[in-house]
Amino acid sequence: MRNSSSSLLEAAVLFKHGMRRVKMGLIAMGSVLILAAAGMFGVPIAGASGEEAKLTPEYIQKTYPDLYREIQNGPRLPPPEVDPAKPYDPYPGFFAQPVLKPGQIEEWWETSSFEYSPVYPYLLKHTHLKFSYSESTGNDKGYLYKGAFYLALRKGRITNVFAYEADRKSVHSSDGSNIDKNIMGVEDTLSYEFNRYLFVEGGMHWQKLTPQMIENRYIPFVGIGSYNLLQDILNKKKDRLKFNLGFGRVMDEYSTFVVDLTNKKSDSFNAIYTKAEYAHKFNDMLTYKQDFVLKHALDATSIYILNSVDKAVLIGSTKRYDWSWTNSLEFALNQYVGCLVSYNVAFDSNPGPSVEKRDTTFLVGLKFAY
């Protein structure tokens, strides 16, 4: 009986204590709601002196210490649920600029998708157009213009880049001869990122190289690359270095002039290529860029020399290589329009008969971005 009475007494005490806690919790929650409503609707809170007091945690702690302790010890509301995949603003549309989080790099097409954490959930798009034109008079009369179009699309970890370039030069010399140096190229590349250091890519590159007497050049290729090769050394908001290493099959179709001289219509060989793109952003208006591309044949190609007007002689073979190096300064007038100064050097170790190995170009032009 003693044990039963003792148990009943303990249960009654615990029940009374629990009800007191529930009562105090309800009072505390009600007080918080009243004080919050008062603060929300501008109802003044009177202090001990009859003057209005501002509703702050410090005021509640000082004036109502018991209530403050109950609030601190009371139940906590769970934090609001946030979708970790879409912490960005709603999709602005295909033709609008993406709305990124503060502190993220705006030039996303030059940066790994892993820099945007969590991954940007919508389709990203960037285009820019470069154009320059110059005209020469005097002993040599002619023109030179160069245009380039760039389109980048990204969804998640997949990026597709389409690029077109046209470089046309036509000069009429004083002796009446005409020199055309026309270069065109189209490249379409699809890449997938495994992490912030490594991506794989594949695509097709087509070129028309009049200076090298190549009518068509097709290069299907696969490779690997990195957006952040030196990210632990460089300031990624000011310096960016992208590197590509790949393997391709080069298939050349020669111009009629080469076919007549060598009786050879085409050639094909395996090659490796490396590509490095570096950019330094001095400020929002001025950016320096440097691009270097090297292709080196793994198979030997024929070497010809021109010994007469209408005949070329085979003198041996070599593993052909060519490279292109471009330095440019870009000045942004606003978000969409800018101007640029560029200097390019191109070299081919085994060009067609009567063709110079080295070619240089200096130009001033405009850049339109969207």
Instruction: Provide the residue-wise pLDDT of the chain in tens; the chain has 370 residues.
Output: 444 444 444 444 444 455 555 455 555 455 555 444 444 444 444 554 545 556 677 777 788 787 777 777 766 666 555 455 556 777 777 777 777 777 777 788 888 888 887 788 888 888 988 888 776 665 556 777 888 899 999 998 999 999 999 888 777 666 666 777 788 999 999 999 998 889 999 999 999 988 778 889 999 999 999 987 776 677 777 888 889 999 999 998 988 877 877 778 888 889 998 999 888 888 888 899 999 999 898 988 777 777 766 677 777 777 888 888 999 998 888 877 888 888 888 888 877 666 677 878 777 887 777 6
CA distance 226 to 198: 5
Helix or strand or coil: residue 90? coil
Q: What is the pLDDT of residue 232?
A: 66
Alpha-carbon distance values, 262 to 252, 255, 322 (Å): 14, 11, 21
For CATH 2.40.160.40, the residue range(s) in the chain are: 108-369
pTM of this prediction?
Answer: 0.67
How distant is the alpha carbon of residue 348 from its chain centre? Answer: 30
Residue 323 CB-half CA count within 13 A:
10
Q: Which residue has the tokens 């502190």?
A: 103
Q: What is the pLDDT of residue 8?
A: 44
Task: For domain 108-369, give the fold.
Answer: Porin (2.40.160)
CA distance 107 to 168: 29
Q: What is the pLDDT of residue 152?
A: 94
Q: What is the pLDDT of residue 193?
A: 94
Contact call for residues 3 and 9 (beta carbons, < 8 A): no
Contact call for residues 188 and 203 (beta carbons, < 8 A): yes
